C-alpha cells in the first residue's frame, strides 16, 4: 500500500510540474545557458561529442541554476499539497499499519513445536 501511496503522490506532482512558472523559468534559463555555451564552441568534426556534452553538463551544474530552480519548483508543486493532501494520506497509512500491527499482537501465537522431533533413543542398560 505504501508503494501505491508514493507512486500516486509522485504521479500527481509530476503531472503538475510543467504547468508551474518555476519549471518554465528554469527550463528557459537552462535553454539559454546551453545555447550561449554552445555558441562559444568552435565546432569541428574531430571533436569528442561526449567530452563536449560532459563539459556542458558540468557547467550547468556548477552554475547553481538547477539547485535553485528545483527548490522553487518544489515550493510551487509539493508545498501546496503537503498539508491538505500528503499529510492526511501519510497519517491514514500509519494508522492502518499500526492497527494491523496491534491486531497481529492480539492474535494468540500457535503453541510452540517440540524441540526434539526424533523418536527417543533406545535406553542402553549397562548390565
3-state percent helix, strand, coil for the chain, nearest multiple of 5 = 70, 0, 30
Q: How confident is the model at residue 117 (pLDDT cuts 50, 70, 90)?
A: low
Integer angstrom CA distances of residue 46 from 41, 42, 52, 77, 112 = 13, 11, 11, 44, 75
Number of structural domains the chain divides into: 1
Per-residue pLDDT at 42 exceeds 60:
yes
pLDDT at 109: 61
Q: Residue 120: inside a domain, yes or no?
A: no
Q: Residue 79: inside a domain, yes or no?
A: yes
Q: How confident is the model at residue 28 (pLDDT cuts 50, 70, 90)?
A: very high
Q: Residue 33: inside a domain, yes or no?
A: yes
Q: Residue 121: inside a domain, yes or no?
A: no
Per-residue pLDDT at 34 exceeds 60:
yes
Q: Helices 49-63 and 65-77 sit at what angle, rounded to 10 degrees? A: 60
Read off the pLDDT of each residue in 20-46 and give the average, rounded to a whole number: 92
What's the domain range around 84? 4-105
pLDDT at 10: 84
Q: Among 8-12, 90-94, 96-100, which stretch is predicted with the lowest mean pLDDT?
A: 8-12
Q: From 31, 17, 119, select the one nearest 74 (Cα to Cα).
A: 17
pLDDT at 54: 93
Q: Residue 117: inside a domain, yes or no?
A: no
pLDDT at 119: 56
Q: What is the DSSP letter of 123?
A: P
pLDDT at 33: 95
Amino acid at each position: 500500500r505504501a508503494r501505491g501511496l508514493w507512486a500516486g503522490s509522485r504521479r500527481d506532482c509530476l503531472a503538475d510540474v510543467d504547468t508551474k512558472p518555476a519549471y518554465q523559468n528554469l527550463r528557459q534559463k537552462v535553454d539559454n545557458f546551453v545555447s550561449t555555451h554552445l555558441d562559444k564552441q568552435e565546432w569541428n568534426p574531430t571533436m569528442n561529442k561526449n567530452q563536449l556534452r560532459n563539459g556542458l553538463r558540468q557547467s550547468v551544474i556548477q552554475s547553481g541554476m538547477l539547485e535553485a530552480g528545483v527548490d522553487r519548483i518544489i515550493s510551487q508543486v509539493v508545498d501546496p499539497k503537503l498539508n491538505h493532501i500528503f499529510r492526511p494520506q501519510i497519517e491514514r497509512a500509519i494508522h492502518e499499519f499500526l492497527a494491523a500491527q496491534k491486531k497481529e499482537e492480539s492474535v494468540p501465537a500457535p503453541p510452540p513445536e517440540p524441540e526434539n522431533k526424533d523418536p527417543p533413543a533406545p535406553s542402553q542398560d549397562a548390565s
